[in-house]
Chain A
Amino acid sequence: MSIRRSGVHDLIAARGESIFRVLISRSHVEHGYLFQVPHFLGDKQRTVDFYVELVSADSAPLHFFVQVKATRTGYTRKDRRLRVRVSAAELRRLVGYRAPTYIVGIDEQWERGYIVSANGERTRGWATMTTAYPLEGDVLAQLKDEVEAYWAHPASTEFRSRFTDPGWRDP
């Protein structure tokens, strides 16, 4: 396999994927490594980009899915929201996965990432996302707790993620 730059959009996407893999697989100061290096699922026809397993002693690996959106357009002045666009159709497809599913926005220039739930809380698309949940430290620990809680009772109740965007106001 060879990653060759064929255009600036390909470069931003490739950098976004690498930045995501590095950020999510960082060691937590108290809990150590929480997630395996994510597996890229390949072609652009998929709605999800990555399958991520928790680092755990369980024989059955617990996992979640992620779609990565990398951008070089930065943040809004008001509320400092990351400018990444997600369509309503993408959100509808993400809800169909029977596992916790998230969207990660990557600020490609500053190499930062932010996570938000994509488990049906929002049905309309968006052009910006919250930066309330940076992919670091305690947010990673909370993400692991959330995914473990989901798989403890996968079919019992409606899944409610803590990583909802305060800016979402669906009717």
Chain B
Amino acid sequence: MTMKWDEFFARRAEDLGFIHLTRREDLIVDRLVSSGAGVDFLVTVMREGVATGRLFGVQVKARAGSIRSTAGLNRRVSGADPSVADVPFPVCVFVFTMGDDRGYYGWLREPVLSNRRSPTLRLVEHVEWSELDRGALAEIVHTVEAWYEAQKRSTRQHASSPEPRSQVV
């Protein structure tokens, strides 16, 4: 039952991802095993104990050792995994450094709200890494909620309009 180091690190990173995500009681965390879809966790935001249907995905990666700053992380993560290109909801990537179990995150399918009438998901080519902690997770959830709210507004505004409701770029 011995395992290779890649598998060892991958399993530790998956557990660390689960631990981080489940720190919030308003998230339902589904672990997708062997999905091959580029998403390891499917996360549903709850409001007042009820699932809202607002989803985001999390891809989890492991890295040996530790880093001094986020500059030490590969920014071209998305290029190595095109499997998230057509995912229709926000997706972020978590990386955990195995030497110290610290976590970092960035967006792969980033919610963009610059145009309030048509919220978009940007396919990120160069990941901007930030440290993952409770505050960062709160920011992720806030961003996801804001994107879905904008989608809802956009849908209402376009109910009587022939313009496209939402763009995926």
**A135–chain B nearest beta-carbon distance, Å:** 13
Residue from the list A11, A19, A36 in contact with B2, Cβ < 8 A = A36
**A6–chain B nearest beta-carbon distance, Å:** 10
Contact residues in A for B74 (Cβ distance below 8 Å): none
Q: Does B12 contact A53, Cβ atoms closer than 8 Å?
A: no
State which size class the interface on B falls in.
20 to 34
Contact of B3 with A by CB under 8 A? yes
Residues of chain B in range 49-103 having any CB-CB distance to chain A below 8 Å: 98-99, 101
Q: Does A22 contact B1, Cβ atoms closer than 8 Å?
A: no
Question: What is the size, in residues, of chain A's interface with B at 8 Å between Cβ atoms?
Answer: 23
| B30, closest chain A residue (CB) | A2
Contact of B22 with A by CB under 8 A? yes
Contact of B29 with A by CB under 8 A? yes
Contact residues in A for B30 (Cβ distance below 8 Å): 2-4
**B8–chain A nearest beta-carbon distance, Å:** 6
Contact of A151 with B by CB under 8 A? no
Distance, CA A36 to CA B29, complexed state (A): 25
Question: Contacts A14-B22, A19-B19, A26-B101; is A61 near B1 (CB within 8 Å)?
Answer: yes
Contact of B169 with A by CB under 8 A? no
Contact of B137 with A by CB under 8 A? no
Residue from the list A18, A27, A53 in contact with B1, Cβ < 8 A = A53
Contact of B11 with A by CB under 8 A? yes
Distance, CA A21 to CA B30, complexed state (A): 18
Q: Does B28 contact A15, Cβ atoms closer than 8 Å?
A: no
Residue from the list B11, B19, B28 in contact with A37, Cβ < 8 A = B11
Distance, CA A21 to CA B11, complexed state (A): 9
Residues of chain A in range 1-29 having any CB-CB distance to chain B below 8 Å: 1-5, 11, 14-15, 18-19, 21-22, 25-27
Q: Which of B18, B32, B101 has the most CB of A within 10 A?
A: B18
**B16–chain A nearest beta-carbon distance, Å:** 6
Contact residues in A for B2 (Cβ distance below 8 Å): 36, 53, 61
Contact of A126 with B by CB under 8 A? no
Residue from the list A2, A11, A15, A36 in contact with B3, Cβ < 8 A = A36
A-B contact pairs, 22 of them (CB 8 A): A1-B31, A2-B33, A3-B30, A4-B28, A4-B30, A5-B22, A5-B29, A14-B22, A15-B18, A18-B19, A19-B19, A21-B11, A22-B12, A22-B15, A22-B101, A25-B12, A26-B101, A33-B8, A37-B11, A37-B12, A53-B2, A111-B19
Chain A residues within 8 Å of B, Cβ to Cβ: 1-5, 11, 14-15, 18-19, 21-22, 25-27, 33, 36-37, 39, 51, 53, 61, 111
